A and B are shown apart, each in its own frame.
Chain A
Amino acid sequence: MATAPTNAAANPAAPAPKVNRIGLTVLEYRGSKSTLCAGCGHNAISERIVDAMFEMGVEPERVIKMSGIGCSSKSPAYFMSRSHSFNAVHGRMPAVATGATLANRQLMTLGVSGDGDTVSIGTGQFVHLMRRNLPMIYIIENNGVYGLTKGQFSATADIGAKLKTGAVNDLRPIDTCALAIQLGATFVGRSFSGDKKQLLLMLKAAIAHKGTVLLDVISPCVTFNDHEGSTKSYKFMQANDDPINEIGFIPSFEEIGADYDAGQILDVTLHDGSSLRLRKLHEGYDPTDRANAVRALMESDENHEVLTGIFYIDTGKPTFVDLLNMVDEPLATLPESVTKPSRAALDKLMASLR
């Protein structure tokens, strides 16, 4: 800047707020005050979303926040108020998000759902969304219980998990990550709301990816599922979180450092030119091998560990938008001259019916 602000000398202690590469401060990514319980894992996830979007310099107006019904689905109100948001009906966020994404492919679609919303009432839509590889980020805020109806088990509750009432879950949990990998999602990972660093890096890489990103984030429910005997509690996660890889992420607009221990590192160039660097923590784990990824998830389930990290990534598969061979412009705002066929076209059709 050529001239210093005149009040700079008057208030030398206040540094200029940090801005990102599009000139916005982190405040401009904030939402309304959360009405979720104090200590809810979902609030930590909202904060990480704010940080990731800010650090990646995403224009808030280009993001749509989509959700279903449940505590998790309320959370889009608590971050990024400058983005359009749609809190739809229970279990149907995937379809609504699909419609919106097809209407305007230039939007960045961020879906926030819960375990009940995703794999109980919404199982059908969830699996078909994964099949299509629609470009979007799908976050499951997974706490293993229904919060808004006061603490019933969801379909991600582990066998042997206990409710506060003493009820024990004896049905197998649905592993959303294994499902997503098998069905065709191209970026699949699991994290923990309490692991700030891992979650933030995963979100930043997700923003750089093109295709369906499925992030299953264990997010403890402090009111109904944070007690002794819960497998979705802070304590349980702190004891049993088993990262499969250490995530490094260098956005497209930053320099890539050269020092790394080849052989233990997988470097993946993401769609926007960013670099994802995965350091192996499990011997022989290859996140580009689907069968391997699913096997690792099944084994960890049997060992009562909670595997976290990026399980699977495929940067080459066409997205649903690619398969539909759509124009680059948003369908929503194509002019009438493009969308309404001519009088001659109708005349020709009429002639063919004579």
Chain B
Amino acid sequence: MATGNLALDREKSALNAGKRVSNDFSINVATVNGSGSQSSNSVLLKSIFEMGVPVSGKNLFPSNIAGMPTWFFIRASKEGYVARKRDSEILVALNPDTAKQDVLSLPAGGVAIYEESYKTSQNLEEVRDDVIYYPVPFEKITAAVCPEPKLRKLVKNMVYVGVVAQLLAIDIGEVESSLRQQFGNKQKVFELNFGAAKAGLEYAQQNLTKRDPYFIERMDRTAGKIIVDGNTAAGMGAVFAGVTVVAWYPITPSTSTIEVTADLLKELRQTPDGKATYAVVQAEDELAAIGMVIGAGWAGARSMTATSGPGMSLMSEILGLAYFTEIPGVVVNVQRVGPATGMPTRTQQADVLSAAFLSHGDTKNVLLFPGSVKECFEHTYAAFDLAERLQTPVLVLSDLDLGMNHWMSEPFDYPATPLDRGKVLTAADLERLGGFARYRDVDGDAIGWRTLPGTPHLKAAYFTRGSGHNDAALYTEKPAEYQAIMERLARKFETARKLVPGPVVVKDGSSKIGFIAYGSTDFALLESLDQIKKQYGQEIDYLRVRAYPFAREIHDFVASHERIYVVEQNRDAQLASLLKLDLPAEEAVKLRSILHYNGWPVDACSITAEFATKEGL
């Protein structure tokens, strides 16, 4: 690490600074999974949000049902930064197995709230002396407010919410209203939980003397905003895009995408007499899920599946069939850590190259890279229009960080434009035209016209085959006919280049250096830009890629800079590699990479540090 960067190495020690730190820290709740801490984490997060303070939540959980360590990070940031903060200043240590390690991970001046009865190999307070300790008898407090022993494990979590609220000056009224929202009309559950939170608060009031500088103070930066996860947002996108056939196979971390979709379809898409205007099928595996999606797409339905890396690998053959036979379908891939089973509950952006060329032969797929929960909604919606317009599968590459974590967002805008159902000939069209050739480019955009099965016209039918075919969809092994189809498919990809969402040029000033990033890396990069400006006085340009094939503006951005750092969350610089294939040789050499791939979401300090090292700052 460059010597000039030491100030960033550790967040500034609040203890040493000795002053009040408001709305700029992170809380780490360390528990064991299966202990039911999810609602208390959401209540704490929501209470901070309700105080107008920008907040984000990240669940770092194991691939396990119960008993393994899990950490939930809640970041409050008056600047509105929502990426993972490398260090968390406040620890709620509720997992005895990791308590010592968790304390060691605190920055100097950090805070450790822990169960005072923990029998660890060493008294927790002896682990280090530059941390402020608040021992709390969580078990005892819980036992007093919760007579039912079976519920204590769950209720204990709400006690910490009260303790933290008292220490950080979070308004207990906001805790109360968040709890009400959480538990709806289950009055008894609400009372039990609010009682636990109040007991924690009262204990802290009476027994703990505030010695740390951290406070939540009311602001007004969350008015009108929503909190949602990316999988929910993607499900909403599909439902508002009028999806009708959903086929899927459960896989972490994509599962909730379909669960939300199914719930929303049930709520929003039944006829007055209770009939479904959709079909949701839990298939036997991903091979079948994508088969159903493509079969439905062929027959004219808006169809989708959601999956993750291993599932996408299984879908490879049928997606290649869909590319070659030109059938629409939407695949939401919530990326997790690979290769192989990898780390199913950790995040990565490592399916980019395989998705781009998924399947054998010269296959190229259209990819969308949502960079926020709002874009999870918008891109999933857009994927259906693109798939039907381009008659090809479209893959939406989200990731676990985006998909499963809580993000603050502007509310989603209603997609006012009509659905684009693409080029479909009706019986009346066929009557007028006297027939059609399925794969003929009659409009110059390399997209043919199709008919749907069931079209009542004797010229409507054609034969869809994954084997060699000519523009009339007839079997062929003739070199010229096969090659003509492949060349048209390549031209169709050029049409896609113009139709996919263009990049977001976040900043394009006079800087000689540019950043390129995509997807969930955006959050950390935006923060890193500010750090670089503050630390090194440099303002770096930044373009965020939103789709493949790459729009021309991306080429222009590279051309107008001397060096480009592509920041992404995989080992092999996958987007940079894809860009290099697309760029002229003299431009491709400008690309270098900043990579993060340990499974935890990338943080700004890591990007800034590596940038400084590479630039010799």
User: What are 9 A-B contacts defined by CB distance under 8 Å?
Assistant: A89-B317, A100-B299, A128-B283, A128-B284, A324-B281, A325-B274, A336-B419, A340-B419, A353-B226
Of the 9-residue stretches A162-170, A206-214, A288-296, A341-349, which lies at the interface with chain B? A341-349
Interchain CA distance A326-B266 in the complex, whole Å: 12
| B461 and A83 contact, CB distance less than 8 A | yes
Residues of B close to A327: CB separation below 8 A: 271, 275-277
Interchain CA distance A86-B461 in the complex, whole Å: 11
| A85 and B461 contact, CB distance less than 8 A | yes
Of the 9-residue stretches A1-9, A101-109, A172-180, which lies at the interface with chain B? A101-109
Distance from B57 Cβ to chain A, minimum over Cβ atoms (Å): 14
Residues of A close to B269: CB separation below 8 A: 339, 341
A61 (CB) vs chain B CBs: closest residue: B456
Given contacts A103-B245, A124-B288, contact A336 B418 (CB under 8 A): yes
Interchain CA distance A327-B244 in the complex, whole Å: 11
Of the 9-residue stretches A46-54, A91-99, A274-282, which lies at the interface with chain B? A91-99
Given contacts A61-B458, A327-B271, contact A87 B466 (CB under 8 A): yes
Residues of B close to A61: CB separation below 8 A: 454-458, 460-461
Given contacts A84-B453, A89-B466, contact A125 B299 (CB under 8 A): no
Interchain CA distance A103-B302 in the complex, whole Å: 9
| B277 and A346 contact, CB distance less than 8 A | no
A64 (CB) vs chain B CBs: closest residue: B453
| B397 beta carbon closer than 8 Å to chain A | no
Interchain CA distance A83-B463 in the complex, whole Å: 8
Residues of B close to A340: CB separation below 8 A: 240-242, 419
B229 (CB) vs chain A CBs: closest residue: A353
Residues of B close to A106: CB separation below 8 A: 454
Residues on B facing A (Cβ under 8 Å): 224-228, 236, 239-245, 247, 264, 268-269, 271, 274-281, 283-285, 287-303, 317-318, 321, 411-412, 414, 418-419, 451-458, 460-467, 475
| A16 beta carbon closer than 8 Å to chain B | no
B300 (CB) vs chain A CBs: closest residue: A332
| A339 and B317 contact, CB distance less than 8 A | no
Residues of A close to B226: CB separation below 8 A: 350, 353-354
Residues of B close to A92: CB separation below 8 A: 287-288, 291, 317-318
> Of B278, B284, B298, B465, which is within 8 A of A124 by CB?
B284
Interchain CA distance A94-B299 in the complex, whole Å: 15
Interchain CA distance A66-B466 in the complex, whole Å: 13
> Of B227, B240, B241, B467, which is within 8 A of A353 by CB?
B227
Interchain CA distance A100-B289 in the complex, whole Å: 12
Distance from A62 Cβ to chain B, minimum over Cβ atoms (Å): 6
| A103 and B462 contact, CB distance less than 8 A | no
| A100-B453, A324-B279, A324-B281 known, 13 other contacts, Cβ within 8 Å | A84-B464, A86-B465, A88-B466, A95-B292, A99-B296, A99-B299, A103-B297, A104-B452, A328-B275, A343-B414, A346-B412, A346-B414, A354-B224
| B295 and A95 contact, CB distance less than 8 A | yes
Residues of B close to A330: CB separation below 8 A: 299-300, 454
A337 (CB) vs chain B CBs: closest residue: B242
Residues of A close to B274: CB separation below 8 A: 325
| A81 beta carbon closer than 8 Å to chain B | yes
Distance from A130 Cβ to chain B, minimum over Cβ atoms (Å): 11
- Most chain B CB neighbours (cut-off 10 Å) among A92, A96, A106, A345: A96
Distance from B239 Cβ to chain A, minimum over Cβ atoms (Å): 6
| A338 beta carbon closer than 8 Å to chain B | yes
Residues of A close to B268: CB separation below 8 A: 341, 345
Distance from A138 Cβ to chain B, minimum over Cβ atoms (Å): 14
Number of interface residues of A (CB under 8 A): 58
| A353 and B279 contact, CB distance less than 8 A | no
Interchain CA distance A100-B281 in the complex, whole Å: 13
| A77 beta carbon closer than 8 Å to chain B | yes
| A149 beta carbon closer than 8 Å to chain B | no
From residue 109 to 157 of chain A, which have CB atoms closer than 8 A to chain B? 124-125, 128
Residues of A close to B414: CB separation below 8 A: 343, 346-347
B226 (CB) vs chain A CBs: closest residue: A353
Interchain CA distance A106-B283 in the complex, whole Å: 22
Distance from B470 Cβ to chain A, minimum over Cβ atoms (Å): 14
| B283 and A95 contact, CB distance less than 8 A | yes
Interchain CA distance A332-B284 in the complex, whole Å: 23
> Of B277, B418, B475, which is within 8 A of A334 by CB?
B277
Residues of A close to B285: CB separation below 8 A: 124
Interchain CA distance A124-B456 in the complex, whole Å: 34
| A333 and B295 contact, CB distance less than 8 A | no
| A82 beta carbon closer than 8 Å to chain B | yes
| B279 and A84 contact, CB distance less than 8 A | no
Distance from A303 Cβ to chain B, minimum over Cβ atoms (Å): 34
| A222 beta carbon closer than 8 Å to chain B | no
A132 (CB) vs chain B CBs: closest residue: B281
Residues of B close to A250: CB separation below 8 A: none
Interchain CA distance A15-B293 in the complex, whole Å: 48
A328 (CB) vs chain B CBs: closest residue: B275
> Of B228, B278, B463, which is within 8 A of A87 by CB?
B463
| A331 beta carbon closer than 8 Å to chain B | yes
Given contacts A326-B276, A346-B414, A350-B411, contact A125 B303 (CB under 8 A): no
How does the 8 Å CB contact mask read for A280-308 relative to B, with 1 for contact and 0 for none?
Answer: 00000000000000000000000000000
Given contacts A98-B291, A331-B301, contact A353 B228 (CB under 8 A): yes
Given contacts A81-B461, A99-B297, A346-B412, contact A339 B467 (CB under 8 A): no
| A325 and B461 contact, CB distance less than 8 A | no
| B412 and A100 contact, CB distance less than 8 A | no
A340 (CB) vs chain B CBs: closest residue: B242
Top 4 A-B pairs, shortest CB-CB distance: A95-B291, A99-B295, A339-B242, A332-B300
Residues of A close to B240: CB separation below 8 A: 340-341, 346
A105 (CB) vs chain B CBs: closest residue: B279
Interchain CA distance A107-B455 in the complex, whole Å: 10
> Of A62, A81, A99, A125, which is within 8 A of B247 by CB?
A99
| A332 and B301 contact, CB distance less than 8 A | yes
| A99 and B293 contact, CB distance less than 8 A | yes
| A102 and B281 contact, CB distance less than 8 A | yes
Residues of B close to A95: CB separation below 8 A: 247, 283, 287-292, 295, 318
Residues of A close to B277: CB separation below 8 A: 326-327, 331, 334, 338-339
| A107 and B453 contact, CB distance less than 8 A | yes
Residues of B close to A62: CB separation below 8 A: 454
| B464 and A87 contact, CB distance less than 8 A | yes
Distance from B278 Cβ to chain A, minimum over Cβ atoms (Å): 7
How does the 8 Å CB contact mask read for A211-245 relative to B, with 1 for contact and 0 for none?
Answer: 00000000000000000000000000000000000
| A88 and B291 contact, CB distance less than 8 A | yes
Distance from A88 Cβ to chain B, minimum over Cβ atoms (Å): 6
Given contacts A95-B288, A325-B276, contact A87 B467 (CB under 8 A): yes
Interchain CA distance A354-B46 in the complex, whole Å: 9
Residues of A close to B242: CB separation below 8 A: 334, 336, 339-340
| A96 and B298 contact, CB distance less than 8 A | yes
Given contacts A104-B300, A332-B244, contact A124 B287 (CB under 8 A): yes
